[in-house]
Amino acid sequence: MRNEFEYLKSLNMVELLSSHYQLQFRVQGNAYVCLSPFTNETNASFYVKQGEDGHWLFKDFSSGHGGSIIDFVLLKEQFHDVAEAVGYLRKLFNQTPPSPRVMPLPSTNNEPGATYDIDGLYQQLKKNSIGACRDYLSARGISDDLILELENQGILLHNNYKAKSYCSFAVYDGNRRLHCIDNHQIGGSQKFVLGQKYPFSLDWSNLNGRQPVHICESIIDYLSLKTLEGCQTVGLALLGNQFKSYDLSMLQQVPVLVSCFDNDVGGFRGYLDLVEQFPGKQIDIYELQPGQKDINERLLSERYAQRAAQLTANDKLAIYKAFIVSDNRSQLAKDWGIDRSYLYKIVNECEAVLVNNFQDRHPGRKSSTEMKSTAEANQRILELEQENQKLAKEKELYYARSEFLKLRLKWSEQEVSELQGTAPQSPPAKKQIKKKKRKKR
Protein backbone atom coordinates (compact mmCIF):
# COMPACT_ATOMS: atom_id res chain seq x y z
CA MET A 1 0.00 0.00 0.00
CA ARG A 2 2.88 2.37 0.83
CA ASN A 3 4.39 1.85 -2.63
CA GLU A 4 0.99 2.54 -4.19
CA PHE A 5 0.72 5.81 -2.27
CA GLU A 6 4.16 6.84 -3.51
CA TYR A 7 3.13 5.99 -7.06
CA LEU A 8 -0.09 8.00 -6.83
CA LYS A 9 1.68 11.05 -5.41
CA SER A 10 4.22 10.99 -8.24
CA LEU A 11 1.58 11.06 -11.00
CA ASN A 12 1.18 14.32 -12.91
CA MET A 13 -1.67 15.97 -11.03
CA VAL A 14 -2.18 18.62 -13.71
CA GLU A 15 -2.92 15.96 -16.32
CA LEU A 16 -5.25 14.03 -14.02
CA LEU A 17 -7.25 17.07 -12.93
CA SER A 18 -7.39 18.45 -16.44
CA SER A 19 -8.65 15.24 -18.01
CA HIS A 20 -11.00 13.97 -15.29
CA TYR A 21 -12.22 17.19 -13.65
CA GLN A 22 -11.94 19.56 -16.65
CA LEU A 23 -9.77 22.06 -14.77
CA GLN A 24 -8.08 24.54 -17.09
CA PHE A 25 -4.61 25.38 -15.85
CA ARG A 26 -2.13 28.00 -16.89
CA VAL A 27 1.54 28.34 -16.03
CA GLN A 28 2.49 30.70 -13.23
CA GLY A 29 6.16 30.74 -12.36
CA ASN A 30 7.15 27.17 -11.41
CA ALA A 31 3.55 26.12 -10.68
CA TYR A 32 0.17 25.73 -12.39
CA VAL A 33 -2.90 27.71 -11.42
CA CYS A 34 -6.65 27.61 -12.14
CA LEU A 35 -9.98 28.54 -10.59
CA SER A 36 -10.84 26.67 -7.41
CA PRO A 37 -12.95 23.51 -7.92
CA PHE A 38 -14.26 23.91 -4.36
CA THR A 39 -15.53 27.51 -4.40
CA ASN A 40 -17.06 29.95 -6.88
CA GLU A 41 -14.11 32.31 -7.05
CA THR A 42 -13.32 34.73 -9.91
CA ASN A 43 -9.56 35.10 -9.32
CA ALA A 44 -7.55 31.90 -9.71
CA SER A 45 -6.05 30.70 -6.42
CA PHE A 46 -5.84 26.89 -6.92
CA TYR A 47 -2.15 25.97 -7.31
CA VAL A 48 -0.53 22.67 -8.32
CA LYS A 49 3.20 22.08 -8.10
CA GLN A 50 5.70 19.22 -8.23
CA GLY A 51 8.12 19.16 -5.30
CA GLU A 52 11.77 18.22 -5.33
CA ASP A 53 10.85 14.75 -4.03
CA GLY A 54 8.77 14.17 -7.18
CA HIS A 55 5.43 14.37 -5.36
CA TRP A 56 2.65 16.54 -6.77
CA LEU A 57 0.72 18.71 -4.32
CA PHE A 58 -2.12 21.21 -4.55
CA LYS A 59 -3.02 24.22 -2.46
CA ASP A 60 -6.38 25.97 -2.72
CA PHE A 61 -6.11 29.40 -1.10
CA SER A 62 -9.81 30.02 -1.66
CA SER A 63 -11.06 27.13 0.50
CA GLY A 64 -7.90 26.40 2.49
CA HIS A 65 -7.68 22.78 1.27
CA GLY A 66 -4.37 21.23 0.26
CA GLY A 67 -2.50 17.96 -0.13
CA SER A 68 -1.90 15.18 -2.65
CA ILE A 69 -4.12 13.74 -5.38
CA ILE A 70 -5.55 11.38 -2.76
CA ASP A 71 -6.60 14.31 -0.58
CA PHE A 72 -8.16 16.01 -3.60
CA VAL A 73 -10.29 12.97 -4.49
CA LEU A 74 -11.34 12.54 -0.84
CA LEU A 75 -12.61 16.12 -0.74
CA LYS A 76 -14.09 16.34 -4.22
CA GLU A 77 -15.88 12.99 -4.20
CA GLN A 78 -16.71 13.25 -0.48
CA PHE A 79 -15.34 9.81 0.33
CA HIS A 80 -15.10 8.67 3.94
CA ASP A 81 -11.70 6.95 3.88
CA VAL A 82 -8.49 6.71 1.87
CA ALA A 83 -9.31 3.23 0.54
CA GLU A 84 -12.32 4.62 -1.34
CA ALA A 85 -10.20 7.37 -2.89
CA VAL A 86 -7.48 4.93 -3.96
CA GLY A 87 -10.08 2.59 -5.51
CA TYR A 88 -11.59 5.52 -7.41
CA LEU A 89 -8.17 6.51 -8.77
CA ARG A 90 -7.51 2.92 -9.92
CA LYS A 91 -10.62 3.14 -12.10
CA LEU A 92 -9.45 6.43 -13.57
CA PHE A 93 -6.11 4.91 -14.56
CA ASN A 94 -7.92 2.45 -16.83
CA GLN A 95 -8.87 5.43 -19.03
CA THR A 96 -6.47 7.21 -21.35
CA PRO A 97 -6.22 10.81 -20.22
CA PRO A 98 -6.20 13.50 -22.93
CA SER A 99 -3.45 16.13 -23.21
CA PRO A 100 -3.20 18.45 -20.23
CA ARG A 101 -4.89 21.82 -20.59
CA VAL A 102 -1.97 23.92 -19.42
CA MET A 103 -1.79 27.27 -21.19
CA PRO A 104 1.33 29.39 -20.67
CA LEU A 105 0.74 33.13 -20.32
CA PRO A 106 1.85 35.58 -23.00
CA SER A 107 4.46 38.11 -21.87
CA THR A 108 2.09 41.03 -22.49
CA ASN A 109 -0.50 39.77 -20.01
CA ASN A 110 -0.60 41.66 -16.72
CA GLU A 111 -1.55 38.60 -14.66
CA PRO A 112 0.56 37.72 -11.62
CA GLY A 113 3.31 35.30 -12.60
CA ALA A 114 3.63 36.38 -16.21
CA THR A 115 6.97 37.23 -17.81
CA TYR A 116 7.56 40.91 -17.22
CA ASP A 117 9.90 43.69 -18.05
CA ILE A 118 10.39 44.02 -14.32
CA ASP A 119 12.38 47.25 -14.53
CA GLY A 120 9.74 48.84 -16.76
CA LEU A 121 6.98 47.68 -14.41
CA TYR A 122 8.88 49.16 -11.47
CA GLN A 123 9.09 52.54 -13.19
CA GLN A 124 5.37 52.36 -13.90
CA LEU A 125 4.43 51.54 -10.29
CA LYS A 126 6.86 54.15 -9.00
CA LYS A 127 4.52 56.86 -10.33
CA ASN A 128 1.68 55.81 -7.99
CA SER A 129 1.12 57.47 -4.63
CA ILE A 130 2.15 55.25 -1.71
CA GLY A 131 -0.06 56.88 0.94
CA ALA A 132 -2.31 53.80 1.13
CA CYS A 133 0.77 51.59 1.60
CA ARG A 134 2.01 53.71 4.49
CA ASP A 135 -1.38 53.36 6.18
CA TYR A 136 -1.41 49.61 5.51
CA LEU A 137 2.02 49.03 7.07
CA SER A 138 1.20 51.29 10.01
CA ALA A 139 -1.99 49.28 10.63
CA ARG A 140 0.15 46.11 10.61
CA GLY A 141 2.23 47.64 13.43
CA ILE A 142 5.37 48.40 11.39
CA SER A 143 7.46 51.25 12.85
CA ASP A 144 7.48 54.66 11.17
CA ASP A 145 11.28 54.54 10.83
CA LEU A 146 11.13 51.32 8.80
CA ILE A 147 8.35 52.65 6.59
CA LEU A 148 10.42 55.78 5.92
CA GLU A 149 13.49 53.67 5.09
CA LEU A 150 11.50 51.58 2.59
CA GLU A 151 10.25 54.76 1.00
CA ASN A 152 13.69 56.40 0.83
CA GLN A 153 15.26 53.31 -0.76
CA GLY A 154 12.52 53.16 -3.41
CA ILE A 155 11.33 49.77 -2.16
CA LEU A 156 7.76 50.68 -1.22
CA LEU A 157 5.35 50.75 -4.18
CA HIS A 158 1.60 50.92 -4.74
CA ASN A 159 0.04 48.57 -7.29
CA ASN A 160 -3.56 48.88 -8.51
CA TYR A 161 -4.59 45.64 -10.20
CA LYS A 162 -8.15 44.76 -11.28
CA ALA A 163 -9.69 47.45 -9.05
CA LYS A 164 -7.76 46.11 -6.05
CA SER A 165 -5.03 47.88 -4.12
CA TYR A 166 -1.73 46.22 -3.23
CA CYS A 167 1.15 47.22 -1.00
CA SER A 168 4.17 46.19 -3.05
CA PHE A 169 7.87 45.76 -2.32
CA ALA A 170 10.71 45.91 -4.82
CA VAL A 171 13.02 42.96 -4.07
CA TYR A 172 16.72 43.66 -4.69
CA ASP A 173 19.81 41.51 -4.17
CA GLY A 174 23.01 42.63 -2.47
CA ASN A 175 24.21 44.28 -5.69
CA ARG A 176 21.01 46.34 -6.02
CA ARG A 177 19.68 44.26 -8.92
CA LEU A 178 15.87 44.12 -9.08
CA HIS A 179 14.51 40.56 -9.19
CA CYS A 180 10.79 40.79 -8.47
CA ILE A 181 7.96 42.78 -6.90
CA ASP A 182 6.12 41.24 -3.96
CA ASN A 183 2.44 42.27 -3.65
CA HIS A 184 0.17 42.17 -0.56
CA GLN A 185 -3.50 43.06 -0.97
CA ILE A 186 -4.64 45.99 1.14
CA GLY A 187 -7.86 45.00 2.88
CA GLY A 188 -7.56 41.39 1.72
CA SER A 189 -5.40 38.27 1.92
CA GLN A 190 -4.28 37.83 -1.69
CA LYS A 191 -0.53 37.78 -2.43
CA PHE A 192 1.48 37.31 -5.60
CA VAL A 193 4.97 37.91 -6.95
CA LEU A 194 5.75 39.65 -10.23
CA GLY A 195 9.00 38.34 -11.67
CA GLN A 196 11.39 35.68 -10.39
CA LYS A 197 11.21 35.06 -6.65
CA TYR A 198 14.22 36.15 -4.63
CA PRO A 199 14.87 36.64 -0.89
CA PHE A 200 14.22 40.12 0.50
CA SER A 201 16.52 41.85 2.97
CA LEU A 202 17.75 45.23 4.12
CA ASP A 203 20.81 43.56 5.68
CA TRP A 204 22.74 42.11 2.76
CA SER A 205 26.06 43.51 3.99
CA ASN A 206 25.62 41.85 7.42
CA LEU A 207 24.47 38.38 6.36
CA ASN A 208 27.99 36.94 6.35
CA GLY A 209 28.96 38.37 9.74
CA ARG A 210 28.96 36.90 13.22
CA GLN A 211 25.47 38.03 14.14
CA PRO A 212 22.52 35.55 14.16
CA VAL A 213 20.38 35.72 11.02
CA HIS A 214 16.59 35.43 11.28
CA ILE A 215 14.87 33.55 8.45
CA CYS A 216 11.29 34.80 7.87
CA GLU A 217 8.57 33.74 5.46
CA SER A 218 7.16 37.10 4.38
CA ILE A 219 8.38 40.68 4.14
CA ILE A 220 5.69 41.71 6.65
CA ASP A 221 7.11 39.23 9.18
CA TYR A 222 10.63 40.50 8.48
CA LEU A 223 9.56 44.11 9.09
CA SER A 224 7.60 43.02 12.19
CA LEU A 225 10.73 41.33 13.55
CA LYS A 226 12.76 44.51 13.13
CA THR A 227 9.99 46.51 14.80
CA LEU A 228 9.95 44.13 17.77
CA GLU A 229 13.68 43.51 18.17
CA GLY A 230 15.15 46.70 16.71
CA CYS A 231 16.44 47.69 13.29
CA GLN A 232 19.88 46.24 14.13
CA THR A 233 18.39 42.72 13.96
CA VAL A 234 19.69 40.88 10.89
CA GLY A 235 17.44 38.71 8.75
CA LEU A 236 15.84 37.99 5.39
CA ALA A 237 12.43 37.04 4.00
CA LEU A 238 12.07 34.07 1.65
CA LEU A 239 8.67 35.10 0.20
CA GLY A 240 7.41 31.73 1.41
CA ASN A 241 8.80 28.76 3.32
CA GLN A 242 10.53 27.12 0.32
CA PHE A 243 14.17 28.11 -0.07
CA LYS A 244 15.98 25.15 -1.61
CA SER A 245 15.99 26.88 -5.01
CA TYR A 246 17.81 29.91 -3.53
CA ASP A 247 21.55 30.31 -3.26
CA LEU A 248 22.03 30.91 0.46
CA SER A 249 25.78 30.23 0.51
CA MET A 250 26.32 33.60 2.18
CA LEU A 251 24.85 32.07 5.36
CA GLN A 252 27.48 29.34 5.68
CA GLN A 253 29.68 31.46 7.97
CA VAL A 254 26.80 32.63 10.15
CA PRO A 255 27.07 31.00 13.61
CA VAL A 256 23.34 30.89 14.42
CA LEU A 257 20.21 30.84 12.27
CA VAL A 258 16.83 31.65 13.81
CA SER A 259 13.76 30.07 12.25
CA CYS A 260 10.96 32.66 12.16
CA PHE A 261 8.54 30.62 10.07
CA ASP A 262 4.79 30.62 10.68
CA ASN A 263 3.36 28.54 13.51
CA ASP A 264 1.72 25.99 11.20
CA VAL A 265 2.51 22.79 9.32
CA GLY A 266 4.21 24.64 6.46
CA GLY A 267 6.36 26.59 8.90
CA PHE A 268 7.43 23.42 10.69
CA ARG A 269 8.39 21.84 7.37
CA GLY A 270 10.39 24.96 6.57
CA TYR A 271 12.24 24.58 9.86
CA LEU A 272 13.07 20.94 9.06
CA ASP A 273 14.31 21.98 5.60
CA LEU A 274 16.50 24.59 7.27
CA VAL A 275 18.01 21.93 9.54
CA GLU A 276 18.63 19.72 6.52
CA GLN A 277 20.11 22.55 4.46
CA PHE A 278 22.57 23.58 7.20
CA PRO A 279 23.58 20.41 9.09
CA GLY A 280 25.64 20.97 12.20
CA LYS A 281 24.69 24.66 12.47
CA GLN A 282 22.86 25.98 15.52
CA ILE A 283 19.26 26.70 14.49
CA ASP A 284 16.97 28.32 17.03
CA ILE A 285 13.22 28.93 16.81
CA TYR A 286 11.79 32.41 17.34
CA GLU A 287 9.29 32.21 20.18
CA LEU A 288 5.61 32.79 19.49
CA GLN A 289 2.85 32.66 22.07
CA PRO A 290 0.10 29.99 21.85
CA GLY A 291 -2.47 30.99 19.26
CA GLN A 292 -0.11 33.37 17.41
CA LYS A 293 0.31 32.39 13.77
CA ASP A 294 3.33 34.51 12.89
CA ILE A 295 5.59 37.34 14.05
CA ASN A 296 3.20 40.02 12.85
CA GLU A 297 0.47 38.61 15.10
CA ARG A 298 2.89 38.77 18.03
CA LEU A 299 3.71 42.39 17.17
CA LEU A 300 0.05 43.36 16.92
CA SER A 301 -0.75 41.49 20.14
CA GLU A 302 1.87 43.49 22.04
CA ARG A 303 0.73 46.75 20.45
CA TYR A 304 -2.88 46.00 21.32
CA ALA A 305 -1.91 45.20 24.92
CA GLN A 306 -0.07 48.52 25.23
CA ARG A 307 -2.98 50.41 23.74
CA ALA A 308 -5.50 48.59 25.93
CA ALA A 309 -3.57 49.62 29.05
CA GLN A 310 -3.91 53.27 27.99
CA LEU A 311 -7.69 53.24 27.60
CA THR A 312 -9.62 55.16 30.24
CA ALA A 313 -13.14 54.47 31.49
CA ASN A 314 -14.46 57.25 29.24
CA ASP A 315 -12.61 55.70 26.25
CA LYS A 316 -14.28 52.35 26.90
CA LEU A 317 -17.67 54.02 27.19
CA ALA A 318 -17.08 55.81 23.87
CA ILE A 319 -16.07 52.49 22.26
CA TYR A 320 -19.26 50.87 23.55
CA LYS A 321 -21.44 53.67 22.20
CA ALA A 322 -19.71 53.48 18.80
CA PHE A 323 -20.03 49.68 18.78
CA ILE A 324 -23.82 49.87 19.13
CA VAL A 325 -24.26 51.97 15.96
CA SER A 326 -21.30 50.65 13.93
CA ASP A 327 -21.76 48.28 10.99
CA ASN A 328 -18.01 47.64 10.66
CA ARG A 329 -16.61 46.38 13.95
CA SER A 330 -13.21 45.50 12.45
CA GLN A 331 -12.70 49.08 11.32
CA LEU A 332 -13.83 50.34 14.73
CA ALA A 333 -11.15 48.20 16.40
CA LYS A 334 -8.52 49.52 13.98
CA ASP A 335 -9.59 53.12 14.60
CA TRP A 336 -8.98 52.65 18.33
CA GLY A 337 -5.79 50.64 17.79
CA ILE A 338 -7.06 47.53 19.59
CA ASP A 339 -7.62 43.89 18.73
CA ARG A 340 -11.12 42.93 17.64
CA SER A 341 -11.32 40.32 20.41
CA TYR A 342 -10.48 43.02 22.97
CA LEU A 343 -13.17 45.22 21.41
CA TYR A 344 -15.76 42.57 22.25
CA LYS A 345 -14.27 42.19 25.74
CA ILE A 346 -14.83 45.92 26.37
CA VAL A 347 -18.41 45.64 25.11
CA ASN A 348 -19.09 42.66 27.38
CA GLU A 349 -17.63 44.51 30.38
CA CYS A 350 -19.80 47.56 29.73
CA GLU A 351 -22.92 45.45 29.41
CA ALA A 352 -22.07 43.56 32.63
CA VAL A 353 -21.69 46.85 34.53
CA LEU A 354 -25.06 48.04 33.24
CA VAL A 355 -26.82 44.80 34.21
CA ASN A 356 -25.31 44.77 37.72
CA ASN A 357 -26.26 48.42 38.20
CA PHE A 358 -29.87 47.78 37.25
CA GLN A 359 -30.08 44.67 39.42
CA ASP A 360 -29.04 46.67 42.51
CA ARG A 361 -31.85 49.15 42.01
CA HIS A 362 -35.49 48.85 43.20
CA PRO A 363 -38.41 49.62 40.87
CA GLY A 364 -39.76 53.15 41.08
CA ARG A 365 -38.34 56.60 41.19
CA LYS A 366 -34.73 57.18 42.10
CA SER A 367 -34.22 57.82 45.83
CA SER A 368 -33.46 61.44 46.72
CA THR A 369 -30.98 60.24 49.35
CA GLU A 370 -28.82 58.32 46.86
CA MET A 371 -25.27 59.61 46.85
CA LYS A 372 -23.69 60.79 43.60
CA SER A 373 -20.05 61.02 44.74
CA THR A 374 -17.66 59.90 47.49
CA ALA A 375 -17.39 63.42 48.89
CA GLU A 376 -21.17 63.67 49.14
CA ALA A 377 -21.32 60.29 50.90
CA ASN A 378 -18.65 61.35 53.43
CA GLN A 379 -20.56 64.57 54.19
CA ARG A 380 -23.73 62.58 54.73
CA ILE A 381 -21.93 60.25 57.15
CA LEU A 382 -20.67 63.26 59.16
CA GLU A 383 -24.20 64.69 59.36
CA LEU A 384 -25.57 61.36 60.56
CA GLU A 385 -22.89 61.14 63.27
CA GLN A 386 -23.81 64.64 64.50
CA GLU A 387 -27.49 63.70 64.56
CA ASN A 388 -26.65 60.59 66.59
CA GLN A 389 -24.72 62.66 69.15
CA LYS A 390 -27.66 65.08 69.45
CA LEU A 391 -30.08 62.21 69.94
CA ALA A 392 -27.82 60.71 72.62
CA LYS A 393 -27.82 63.99 74.60
CA GLU A 394 -31.59 64.29 74.28
CA LYS A 395 -31.94 60.70 75.49
CA GLU A 396 -29.85 61.47 78.60
CA LEU A 397 -31.92 64.60 79.28
CA TYR A 398 -35.19 62.68 78.98
CA TYR A 399 -33.82 59.97 81.28
CA ALA A 400 -32.86 62.57 83.94
CA ARG A 401 -36.29 64.21 83.72
CA SER A 402 -37.95 60.83 84.06
CA GLU A 403 -35.97 59.98 87.20
CA PHE A 404 -36.72 63.42 88.68
CA LEU A 405 -40.43 62.97 88.04
CA LYS A 406 -40.32 59.58 89.72
CA LEU A 407 -38.83 61.20 92.86
CA ARG A 408 -41.42 63.98 92.82
CA LEU A 409 -44.18 61.39 92.53
CA LYS A 410 -42.79 59.43 95.50
CA TRP A 411 -42.63 62.53 97.73
CA SER A 412 -46.13 63.52 96.68
CA GLU A 413 -47.46 60.10 97.65
CA GLN A 414 -45.71 60.31 101.04
CA GLU A 415 -47.15 63.81 101.74
CA VAL A 416 -50.67 62.59 100.93
CA SER A 417 -50.27 59.65 103.29
CA GLU A 418 -49.15 61.92 106.16
CA LEU A 419 -52.09 64.23 105.64
CA GLN A 420 -54.49 61.29 105.68
CA GLY A 421 -52.81 59.83 108.77
CA THR A 422 -51.96 56.66 107.04
CA ALA A 423 -48.24 57.26 106.87
CA PRO A 424 -46.16 54.52 108.59
CA GLN A 425 -44.81 55.43 112.09
CA SER A 426 -41.14 55.99 112.56
CA PRO A 427 -39.23 53.36 114.65
CA PRO A 428 -38.15 54.16 118.29
CA ALA A 429 -35.22 56.50 118.66
CA LYS A 430 -33.03 53.94 120.40
CA LYS A 431 -33.46 51.41 117.74
CA GLN A 432 -32.73 54.04 115.18
CA ILE A 433 -29.59 54.97 117.09
CA LYS A 434 -28.53 51.36 117.36
CA LYS A 435 -29.26 50.92 113.72
CA LYS A 436 -27.18 53.92 112.92
CA LYS A 437 -24.38 52.57 115.08
CA ARG A 438 -24.47 49.28 113.30
CA LYS A 439 -24.21 51.10 110.07
CA LYS A 440 -21.16 52.96 111.36
CA ARG A 441 -19.53 49.69 112.20
CATH of the domain at 247: 3.40.1360.10
pLDDT, residue 107, reads 33
Other beta carbons less than 10 A from residue 418's beta carbon: 10
Domain CATH number, residue 51: 3.90.580.10
User: Do residue 38 and residue 125 come from a single domain?
Assistant: no
3-class DSSP state of 239: coil
Residues 145 and 94 occupy one common structural domain = no
Residue 431 lies in a domain: no
Residues 82 and 120 in one domain: no
Q: Which 3 state secondary structure label does DSSP give 58? A: strand
pLDDT tens track for 111-157: 444 445 788 889 989 999 999 999 999 888 899 999 999 999 999 99
Q: What is the pLDDT of residues 173-202, one digit of tens each?
A: 988 999 999 999 998 888 888 888 899 999
Residue at a domain's end among 144, 167, 197? 197
d(CA 313, CA 134): 31
> Does residue 174 sit in the same domain as residue 206?
no
Distances in Å between the Cα of 290 and the Cα atoms of 171, 224, 225, 271, 401 are 32, 18, 18, 18, 80
pLDDT (0 to 100) of residue 98: 38
Residue 27 DSSP SS3: strand
Instruction: Please tell me the predicted confidence (pLDDT) of residue 22.
Output: 85
Shared domain for 205 and 298, answered yes or no, is yes
**What's the confidence (pLDDT) of residue 109?**
37
Give the pLDDT of residue 104.
37
Same domain, 94 and 12: yes
Q: What CA–CA distances, in Å, run from 43 to 28, 188, 195?
A: 13, 13, 19
In which domain, by residue range, is 297 found? 199-304
Question: For the chain, percent helix, then strand, then coil, each to nearest 5?
Answer: 50, 15, 35
Same domain (yes/no): 239, 191: no
Whether residue 328 is contained in a domain is answered as yes
What is d(CA 211, CA 324) in angstroms, rounded to the nearest whole number? 51
> Which amino acid appears at position 288 of this protein?
L
| Res 288: pLDDT | 87
Task: Let me know whether 243 and 317 are in one domain.
Answer: no
Rounded to whole angstroms, the Cα distance separating 49 from 230 reads 37
CA proximity to 132, closest of 116, 147, 111, 118: 147
Give Cβ neighbours of residue 32 (< 8 Å, ≥ 6 apart): 14, 25, 26, 47, 48, 49, 102
Task: Classify residue 252 by its DSSP letter.
Answer: T
- Whether residues 92 and 26 fall in one domain: yes
Low-confidence ranges of the chain (pLDDT < 70): 1-3, 93-116, 244, 339, 360-372, 422-441
**Boundary (domain end) residue, out of 58, 88, 103:** 103
Q: Encode 85-117: b = buried (16+ Cβ within 10 Å), e = exposed.
A: bbebbeeeeeeeeeebbbeebeeeeebbbbbbe
- The tally of domains found in the chain comes to 4
pLDDT for the residue 7: 80
Asked whether residue 61 is assigned to any structural domain, the reply reads: yes
